[in-house]
């Protein structure tokens, strides 16, 4: 009996790994296919699709701290906006127009904001975390508004420009280069994050979400791990902010707004927390649905968006992607 059980465990582990690798490959392939369809079917609307990619990076970063670590926050746009302003400032004020260096500046700015926000937010738990995060997003917004000599204030930071990628692919008015650049950034981030969440560090963060006291009793430091994840989350959000600054060539105060923070949380819940592909699917569905219904019915589109969210929360509490994944998992177990 013992030998049989050991054999089952030994064979089950590689099977799970193969399935997870298969899901990852399918997810990456789906991103490439959808990106290709978007490029071919909507050549005149690539600016919107690039914006979707930038916000997807924000929602991915939010999923790291909320979905995987259980940290409650409504101020995550502070990280996104910090990355956008960092990329914009190095271009507008220091003449650094290489898109890769601007992206690196965005990563640094987002990571620095993640360090500051993590230090403050992680000093509390539950509802106090939400209050602290809301306070932080308002402080970041007001700081950017007052530092008008650097940020442009309420008028926005203009004069942002980017050189051709590798000196060859120029950023054009139709947004072709910005879109492809965004897709490549998204793919790179998703691959790295899949490795991260399956690493021992990612498992530690999941354990902290489930039972922080037990993790502490095992000798690990939950706060240190959450701080590291907050900084990583800021770096990911900074990539999205930098992409937004590069593609639009302007950075406004809306990138540091409470509305953007709240919408990113809505997108995450819509797709499903604790799943990178859920965060992506929620962002794409919400933003495209919002764009379509607002164009079709400019007066009542918020009602339609609200009805969609209520239906998802009531009938698919794990989110659209999470519910679908759970359904197919049950079917596999039944077979």
Could you report the per-residue pLDDT of 97-109, keeping only the tens digit for each?
A: 999 999 999 999 9
Q: C-alpha distances in angstroms, 70 versus 62, 65, 131, 315?
A: 10, 6, 15, 22
CB atoms within 10 A of CB 222: 20
Q: Which of 117, 114, 87, 116 is nearest to 101 (CA)?
A: 87
Per-residue pLDDT of 175-233, as tens digits, reads 899 999 999 999 999 999 999 999 999 999 999 998 888 888 888 889 999 999 999 99
| Rounded-to-integer distance, Cα 232 and Cα 113, Å | 11
pLDDT at 203: 93
CB atoms within 10 A of CB 218: 9
pLDDT mean over 62-72: 93
Per-residue pLDDT of 134-175, as tens digits, reads 999 999 999 999 999 999 998 999 989 999 998 888 888 888
Per-residue pLDDT of 321-335, as tens digits, reads 888 878 777 777 776
| Rounded-to-integer distance, Cα 27 and Cα 190, Å | 10
Buried b / exposed e along 134-173 (16+ C-beta atoms within 10 A): bebbeebbeebeeeeeebbeeebbeebebbebeeeeebee
Structure-token pair, residue 245: 């600054």
pLDDT at 18: 60
Give the pTM.
0.92
Per-residue pLDDT of 75-118, as tens digits, reads 999 999 999 999 999 999 999 999 999 999 999 999 999 999 99
**Can you say whether residue 160 is alpha, beta or left, with left for phi > 0 and alpha for psi between -120 and 50 degrees?**
beta
Query: Do 64 and 232 form a contact (C-beta atoms < 8 A)?
Result: yes
Given a cut of 90, is residue 256 above it in pLDDT?
yes
Rg (CA), the chain: 21
For residue 280, how many C-alpha atoms fall within 13 Å in the half-sphere facing its CB?
Answer: 19
């Amino acid at each position: 009996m013992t030998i049989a059980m050991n054999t089952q465990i030994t064979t089950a582990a590689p099977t799970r790994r193969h399935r997870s690798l298969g899901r990852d490959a399918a997810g990456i392939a789906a991103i490439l296919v959808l990106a290709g369809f978007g490029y071919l079917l909507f050549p005149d609307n690539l600016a919107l699709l690039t914006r979707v990619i930038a916000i997807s990076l924000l929602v991915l970063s939010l999923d790291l701290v909320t979905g995987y670590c259980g940290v409650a926050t409504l101020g995550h746009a502070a990280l996104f906006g910090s990355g956008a302003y960092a990329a914009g400032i190095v271009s507008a004020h220091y003449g650094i127009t290489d898109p890769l260096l601007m992206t690196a500046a965005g990563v640094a700015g987002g990571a620095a904001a993640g360090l500051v926000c993590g230090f403050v937010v992680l000093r509390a738990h539950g509802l106090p975390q939400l209050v602290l995060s809301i306070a932080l997003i308002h402080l970041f917004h007001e700081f950017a508004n007052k530092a008008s000599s650097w940020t442009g204030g309420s008028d926005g930071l203009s004069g942002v420009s980017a050189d051709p990628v590798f000196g060859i692919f120029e950023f054009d008015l139709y947004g072709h280069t910005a879109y492809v650049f965004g897709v490549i950034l998204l793919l790179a981030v998703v691959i790295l994050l899949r490795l991260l969440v399956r690493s021992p560090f990612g498992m530690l963060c999941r354990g902290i979400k489930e039972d922080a006291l037990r993790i502490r009793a095992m000798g690990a430091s939950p706060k240190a791990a959450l701080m590291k994840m907050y900084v990583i989350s800021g770096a990911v959000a900074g990539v999205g902010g930098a992409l937004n600054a590069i593609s639009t060539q302007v950075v406004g105060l809306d990138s540091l707004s409470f509305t953007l923070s709240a919408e990113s949380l809505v997108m995450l819940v819509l797709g499903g927390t604790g799943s990178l592909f859920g965060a992506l699917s929620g962002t794409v569905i919400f933003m495209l649905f919002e764009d379509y219904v607002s164009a079709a019915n400019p007066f009542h589109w918020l009602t339609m968006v609200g009805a969609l969210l209520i239906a998802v929360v009531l009938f698919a509490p794990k989110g659209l992607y999470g519910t679908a994944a759970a359904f197919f998992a049950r079917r596999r177990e039944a077979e």
